[in-house]
Amino acid sequence: MDYPKILEEIKESLALEPKTGTVASYIPELAKISPNKFGMHLCCFEQGNFAFGDSRERFSIQSVSKVFSLTLAIQLLGNKVLERVGIEPSGDPFNSLILLENENGIPRNPLINSGALVIADILVEHLERPKEDFLNFVRKISGQSDIQFNKQVAQSEKDWGYRNAALVNLMKSFGNINGDIEEVLDFYFHQCALEMSCEELANTFMLYANHGKIFGTEEEILNTSQTKRLNAVMLACGFYDEAGEFSFKVGLPGKSGVGGGIAAIHPGNFSVAVWSPQLNEKGNSALGMLALELLTTKTGLSIF
């Protein structure tokens, strides 16, 4: 596969695209990012790494972190995690409260805010030093020992986190949050405030393309069956109420965040991460989605 040529073509196509979308501003700290950033990093099993643009610059990974917290929760508790959170797409925005009332405080899936807050509750309960242990876990699976939470972003989320506070309170009223609300929110805001580059995200996501083993060291983090299930959840739920559109256009399991990042995988073939902070109305990176659509179209490598 001529990946250098394909990435060059993607880069050229994106340069011609009219800039649409807006940088997330409901977390004021995120609004400070230049809308024109763009990075892409592709990590292949056979042919190595290819990248362009701002692929080495760290950014706020936001909801992409939900995949890492879910991974750690599955590692700790296995299928028990799914007693408190479902695996179905919600068809609603990522921070919606609507379904929770009717569904007794059980979130549809772990990749929307309500579900990730339940996962945060599980981690707060089962980790000795939750934030530190989670950070060390991400450092381990990424192989990057200097990955950090951005404290200003975490604080900004806390200052404006009314909806997340509402979600966690509602779930607590149904008995689906065990821990202290402030502690669960603090963990969640820090988790979302992790900073990583496209290169680091793509390298880390190789885990999900590699049957749950860290690419390179081959250390097992999840078993094959757990990885299959997690990838299925990403495919069905990784893009909120745009999961169908992402499957339709791109055809890869993946996860987006309101920082403008998207990471996706093709099992046994590659992982890829893109970053462009301008979001479409569903909260997914507009150019990021287009770049991935071009990648799977030009390579013919979607999972379908």
Catalytic pick from 64, 65, 66, 272? 66
250 in catalytic set = no
Question: In terms of CB distance, is 94 or 246 closer to ligand GLN?
Answer: 94
CB of 112 to ligand GLN, least distance (A): 8
Touching ligand GLN, residues 176-195 (CB under 6 A): 192
Binding status of residue 96 toward ligand GLN by CB under 6 A:
no
Backbone phi and psi for residue 95, each to the nearest 5 degrees, phi listed first = -110, 25
Residue nearest to ligand GLN (CB): 63
162 in catalytic set = no
CB of 185 to ligand GLN, least distance (A): 10
Binding status of residue 283 toward ligand GLN by CB under 6 A:
yes
Question: In terms of CB distance, is 231 or 285 closer to ligand GLN?
Answer: 285
What number of other Cβ atoms are within 10 A of residue 192's Cβ?
29
**In 62-105, alpha helices (H):** 65-77, 98-102
Q: In whole angstroms, what is the distance from residue 254 CA to residue 26 CA? A: 23
Asked if residue 67 lies in contact with residue 255, where contact means CB atoms within 8 angstroms, the answer is yes
Q: What is the DSSP letter of 285?
A: B
What angle is formed at CA 153 by the lines to CA 148 and CA 158, rounded to 5 degrees?
120
**Where are the extended beta strands (E) located within the chain?**
22-23, 39-44, 48-53, 59-60, 195-196, 254-256, 261-266, 270-275, 278-279
3 in catalytic set = no
Question: In terms of CB distance, is 63 or 90 closer to ligand GLN?
Answer: 63
Burial of 30 (0-12, 13-18, 19+ CB in 10 A): buried
CB of 163 to ligand GLN, least distance (A): 7
Task: Find all residues with CB under 8 Å of 269, minimum gap 6, and list them.
Answer: 44, 45, 209, 301
Q: In whole angstroms, what is the distance from residue 51 CA to residue 108 CA? A: 35
Alpha-carbon distance values, 180 to 51, 65, 120 (Å): 42, 21, 11
66 in catalytic set = yes
What track of x and - describes contact with ligand GLN for positions 208 through 247 (by CB under 6 A)?
Answer: ----------------------------------------
Asked if residue 103 lies in contact with residue 174, where contact means CB atoms within 8 angstroms, the answer is no
Question: In terms of CB distance, is 164 or 226 closer to ligand GLN?
Answer: 164
With CB under 6 A, what is the number of residues at the site for ligand GLN? 11
What track of x and - describes contact with ligand GLN for positions 50 through 69 (by CB under 6 A)?
Answer: ------------xx------
The token pair at 178 is 């065990």
| Selected binder of ligand GLN within 52, 94, 215, 270 (CB under 6 A) | 94
Question: In terms of CB distance, is 94 or 149 closer to ligand GLN?
Answer: 94
Q: In whole angstroms, what is the distance from residue 81 CA to residue 106 CA? A: 12
| Selected binder of ligand GLN within 113, 156, 197, 227 (CB under 6 A) | 113
| Selected binder of ligand GLN within 69, 71, 95, 203 (CB under 6 A) | 95
| Selected binder of ligand GLN within 29, 54, 157, 241 (CB under 6 A) | 157
Q: Which residues bind ligand GLN (CB under 6 A)?
A: 62-63, 94-95, 113, 157, 164, 192, 257-258, 283
Question: Which residues does the annotation mark as catalytic?
Answer: 63, 66, 188, 240, 258
